[in-house]
Amino acid sequence: MPALVKMVEAFGMRLSVIERKLPHLKIVHGLEGRDAQIEEVKTLLRSMAEVSMEVLCYNWMPDEDWQRTSKDVPERGGAKVTAFDLKQAGEGNLTDADGLPKTRTPADRLWENLKRFLDDILPTAEDCKVRLALHPDDPPLSNLHGQDRIITSNEAFERVVALAPSPNNGLCYCQGALAPAGVDVEAGIRKLAPHIHYAHFRNVAGVAEDFRETFHDNGGLDMAALMRAYKECGFDGPMRPDHAPSLAGESNETPGYETLGKLHAIGYMKGLYDQASFFES
């Protein structure tokens, strides 16, 4: 990890967040081997502390990670975006997770396992000065393929915060993951701001059962209002554009993460931030 930090710093940037692909499915489902995975997470926290990294983003998705049914839906100007259609979802065409759940755990047990995880991990996180940031389920469906999912709303986030009161227990507020469920994103930002340790700032169009990603200026969210909400709440944590379209001419080998779409998104976000600062003054 020190070599990675040094490489990033050589470009005038600072590495402050670790996210995705944590070894945690046995923890989520409460399976044999969960204690070993807990120790792996603690080891990661200690490694982060050695290089002064501030935030560990994790999720409680019981099938590992975000899911889509399409990677190349047409967007403006020949760009391509990812999409999810519940009618098409099934083993073999889920794009980021491994397909249908191998273990089905009910919602109440998922909450119990999350509480146990936080109780086990937070003392180490506090010692290491690393803040936890829980990402919502994507897609934000309360059940997918017979498997319950629990982190799909502002209310769920409030419950997470209440599970383990600690300044190191917090949230990754991913507005693009929550919005298809009809969540009031601006209200969520304003209410949960003290607990938001990390922000994913992207746009989306559609509903939880059928949605697509968009350019940052081309979805259903009022992005200017949301940036103002972050600014007015005094948010000073890390924020990233999350997924962005693959622009015409890009390979789309890593949907949502191609270079040119990301550059467009970052520029748009910088403009919104400057606008929010102007109105604040």
Average pLDDT over residues 35-53: 97
Lowest-confidence segment of 30-34, 79-83, 84-88 by average pLDDT: 84-88
Q: What's the whole-number average pLDDT of the chain?
A: 93
pLDDT at 103: 80
Question: How does residue 96 score in pLDDT terms, banded at 50, 70 and 90?
Answer: low
Is the pLDDT confidence value at 39 over 90?
A: yes
pLDDT at 65: 81
Average pLDDT over residues 154-172: 98
DSSP string, the chain: -HHHHHHHHTTT----EEES--S-HHHHHT-TTHHHHHHHHHHHHHHHHHTT--EEEEE--TTSS---SEEEEE-GGG-EEEEEEGGG-STTT-SSS-SS-SS---HHHHHHHHHHHHHHHHHHHHHHT-EEEEEPPSS--SEETTEE----SHHHHHHHHHHS--TTEEEEEEHHHHGGGT--HHHHHHHHGGGEEEEE---EEEETTEEEE--TTSSSS-HHHHHHHHHHTT--S-EE--S-PBPTTS--SSTT--HHHHHHHHHHHHHHHHHHHHHH-
Question: How does residue 88 score in pLDDT terms, banded at 50, 70 and 90?
Answer: confident
State how many domains the chain has: 1
Q: Which domain covers residue 120, as residue numbers?
A: 2-280
Is the pLDDT confidence value at 280 over 70?
A: no
Lowest-confidence segment of 93-97, 163-167, 171-175 by average pLDDT: 93-97
CATH number at residue 161: 3.20.20.150
